[in-house]
A and B are shown apart, each in its own frame.
Chain A
Amino acid sequence: MLLLEIAFVFMKIGALAFGGAYASIAVVEKQVVEISQWMSYAEFSDLIAIDEITPGPIIINAATFVGMRMAGLPGAIAATLGAITPPVIITALLILLYRKYKEIKIVGNILFALKCMALSMVISTFVSMTLSTVFGGQAIAVNNVNILLTAMAIASFFILKKYKLNPVYVMLACGAINLAFSLLVR
């Protein structure tokens, strides 16, 4: 059944989403784009942009977005409940452990390794997303390079790094420039 399948996929995402909001987005990418193939890289990028603009945790927003598109509101609710179940159980277990032992070295060491895993996943997502952006979702060839998008990505990075601007403004500016440019060229 589709609803159960959606809930199960998001349970896996919830259980593996270590290392903060953007690290969770890498888990979503791996499960939803690569494994289940429920959306393309372009749609996935839309999701991140929409998440930046709307309030709420990224994993709930992603679950609602994907669930809604797969099976309407029931899909959104199934995905969200799936996504929060494993983290809530793990949080409860951590509270119990903490109350019993206060500080535990082994948990710290495991969490550190999981944080490294999160980093490797974000790097992987970044590579896939960047290839999809630079080559416009087409084959990797010099002819397919989208020069405007590539230049904007590099410029955005330096602006984010140097001026610590809110990423929302940087993204909106990129969108506006791309739209203006496409209108001018035509």
Chain B
Amino acid sequence: MSKAQKLWLLFTTAFTSSATANSGYAILSVMKNLFVYKHKWFTEEEMNDYIGLAQSAPGAMAVNGAVVVGYQIAGIIGAVVGILGIIIPPIIIMALVTIFYQYIVTNVYVRMFMEGMQAGVCALLLDVIIGLFTSVTKEKTIYPYILVIAGFIFVKFTDFSVFYLALGCIVAGIIKTLIMNRKAGA
């Protein structure tokens, strides 16, 4: 397969999966099936490592995943093609939905419907909180609790930018590594 054909396949795969799937996992597993199992362009181990990296970085997993997969396939051009494939469908769909939303949102019935959906959104957020909480408190130490409580106070009761909180987290991660290394050395 020529490079142009590979790029076209990458673009159409990214485009169609982003136009239909709501989760980054689903989009990346479509790519995995095609590029790893069918075309064997790279190994499953590589793909899993790269998905791990895509998840660790901030932002949308689907976009970051497309960057790593695209880069593996065709370097920088591959990464750009992957990104375009992922972001074009949601921009088009969401732009149309937003126009429609602005047109109907003043309607009293639509308003009542959307107001009701707020209750579901609150419930969903609480469910997300429990999921994240279980994942960060796996290791039974007081450390994650301190970070979460301090973070909450920072976000809720101060006007400082979240940027400083992120810097604080980076410092906390470095200090933890230093302490772990010292313990391992002693």
CB-based contact A111/B90 at 8 Å: no
For window 96-153 of A, CB contacts with B under 8 Å fall at: 98, 105-107, 109-127, 129-130, 132-133, 149-150, 152-153
Name the prevailing secondary structure of the B interface residues.
Answer: helix
Tell me the bound Cα distance from A50 to B3 in angstroms: 38
Task: Mark the stretch among B4-12, B31-39, B107-115 that contacts chain A.
Answer: B107-115
The answer, among B20, B22, B59, for a CB contact under 8 Å with A59, is: B59
CB-based contact B83/A84 at 8 Å: yes
The answer, among B116, B161, B168, for a CB contact under 8 Å with A178, is: B116
B87-98 vs A, CB cutoff 8 Å, 1 = contact: the mask equals 101110111011
For window 60-83 of B, CB contacts with A under 8 Å fall at: 60-64, 67-68, 71, 79, 83
Interface residue B48 (Cβ < 8 Å from any Cβ of A)? no
The answer, among B101, B118, B156, for a CB contact under 8 Å with A127, is: B156
How many inter-chain contacts with C-beta < 8 Å in the A-B complex? Answer: 329
CB-based contact A90/B135 at 8 Å: no
**Known contacts A113-B147, A120-B151, A123-B129; is A80 also within 8 Å of B87 by CB?**
yes
The answer, among A14, A31, A56, A91, for a CB contact under 8 Å with B53, is: A91
Name the B residues within 8 Å of A105 (CB-CB): 177, 180
Name the A residues within 8 Å of B64 (CB-CB): 87-88, 91
The answer, among A14, A95, A167, A183, for a CB contact under 8 Å with B58, is: A14
**A103, closest chain B residue (CB):** B49
The answer, among B61, B93, B118, B173, for a CB contact under 8 Å with A110, is: B173
Tell me the bound Cα distance from A58 to B21 in angstroms: 12
Name the B residues within 8 Å of A122 (CB-CB): 125, 128-129, 132
The answer, among B18, B119, B129, for a CB contact under 8 Å with A133, is: B119
The answer, among B79, B90, B123, for a CB contact under 8 Å with A157, is: B123
B134-150 vs A, CB cutoff 8 Å, 1 = contact: the mask equals 01100000001001111
Q: Which B residues lie at the A interface, using CB under 8 A?
A: 18-24, 49-50, 53-64, 67-68, 71, 79, 83, 86-87, 89-91, 93-95, 97-99, 101-102, 105, 109, 112-130, 132-133, 135-136, 144, 147-152, 154-156, 161-163, 165-166, 168-170, 172-174, 176-177, 180
Q: Which A residues lie at the B interface, using CB under 8 A?
A: 12, 14-24, 27, 30-31, 42, 45-46, 48-50, 52, 54-61, 64-65, 68-69, 73, 76-77, 80, 83-84, 86-88, 90-92, 94-95, 98, 105-107, 109-127, 129-130, 132-133, 149-150, 152-154, 156-157, 159-161, 167, 170-179, 182-183
